[in-house]
Amino acid sequence: MYKEYDYVIVGAGIAGCCVAYFLKQYSKSILLLDKNKKSCLGASGAAGAFLSPLLGKPNEFKDLVTTSLNFSTQFYKNLEEDVLNNCGVCRIPKNEEDKEKFESYKPYIDFEYEELNEGYFFKIGSQITPNLVCKLLTKECEKLMNYKVEDLQQDAKKSWIINNEIKAKNLILTTGANTKLIEEKYFNIRAVWGQKIDIKTSTFNNINYHKECSVSLVTKTFDDGKYLLSLGATHHRFNCDKEICDYCIDSVNINSCAKCYTNDITSKDSQKLINLGNDIIKLNDVEVVDIKIGARACSVDYFPMVGKLVDSKATIEKYPHLVNGSFITDDKLLMLENLYILNGVGGRGFVLSPYLANELVESIINNKKLDENIISNRLFKRWVKKYKLNNG
């Protein structure tokens, strides 16, 4: 007999933990599972978890980040006292060209700011502790850790059977860069690798900075009077062909092995982060005390992907003229039944995830319409126009 749940969430990073939290308001039949031994490893564990504005001229992605930042800041404040450190962030242009861009953005800045040294200080800038937040979000949720999904099938009633052991009336995938459970080719998630290092230093810092890397405020004072702070950056690392080798993405914990990220690579990347940090604030007596690496999941158009997935095979079979570039309205697209996703949050996972998780849950439970910029339809429509070319 299967162990049955109304909702099973696969992936216990910040996205999955937020979905579990909001679903808990409506259902007690929820299971959160992850291949790691605990939540908040992978990309979420390697995140600096900085919350800061996106600067730029008006566009729909900037609007999404602004809405999410307002929502998530208040959400973390309400989660538990002292979860959010509202220390502010100073955004510093990388060069003269970047400075000119910053100047051109001033009429469109959505948040209060002031000029500070060579940059712009935003009071709304904050930082959270990833593992603490994920623990709080899921403290009342049933969890199954160290559990890897090897087999996923649908039964006649369209429930999902996991490893022939667990049945889910509804399956929610928040698996980040690992998309092996989804066979839809238009679901194109690329891995952008991030690294965070915690350092011990005699330098005191009381705000967050961001230039080419991020430097956190002091999060701990040691008995010898030195301080703990974090340096982090997003960077491309591997350009592996997923069809040939997907080891880095599929590994249970990339931080615990040295097959791809060798000691030489991590040491060089750590020194690079320290050099970039020194370009922002002078860091004295530096000792690296921890290194975390994770693959952040980005979509091809930077917008996240939330909600149901288009069933490409069924849709093309019903509307074969789509491959010739014909148009149909969204309501005619056939969707995979009882399957939902939250993915592609990139390097802004801790800003976007609470807002998007709430939107997803309200969509599932109360049929709230999702923003067309974040649903999978957009990517399917672009992909299907090239279907004939890619399939002969």
Which pLDDT score is estimated for 162? 97
pLDDT tens across 108-149, in order? 999 999 999 889 999 999 999 999 999 999 999 999 999 999
Instruction: Give residues with Cβ within 8 angstroms of 168, minimum separation 6.
Output: 4, 5, 6, 7, 8, 31, 159, 160, 162, 338
- Give the start-to-end residue ranges of the domains of the chain: 3-49+130-185+301-390, 190-299
State pLDDT tens for residues 272-302: 999 999 999 999 999 999 988 888 899 989 9
Q: What average pLDDT does the structure give for the chain?
A: 90
Give the model confidence (pLDDT) of 48-70 as tens digits. 889 999 999 999 999 999 999 99
Given a cut of 90, whether residue 349 has pLDDT beyond it is yes
**Which residues are CB-contacts of 155 (< 8 A; sequence separation ≥ 6)?**
161, 167
pLDDT tens-place string over residues 219-258: 999 999 999 999 988 765 555 555 544 445 555 455 555 4
CATH of 3-49+130-185+301-390, one of 3.50.50.60, 3.20.20.70, 3.30.470.10, 3.90.110.10: 3.50.50.60
Q: Does 358 or 194 have the greater pLDDT score?
A: 358
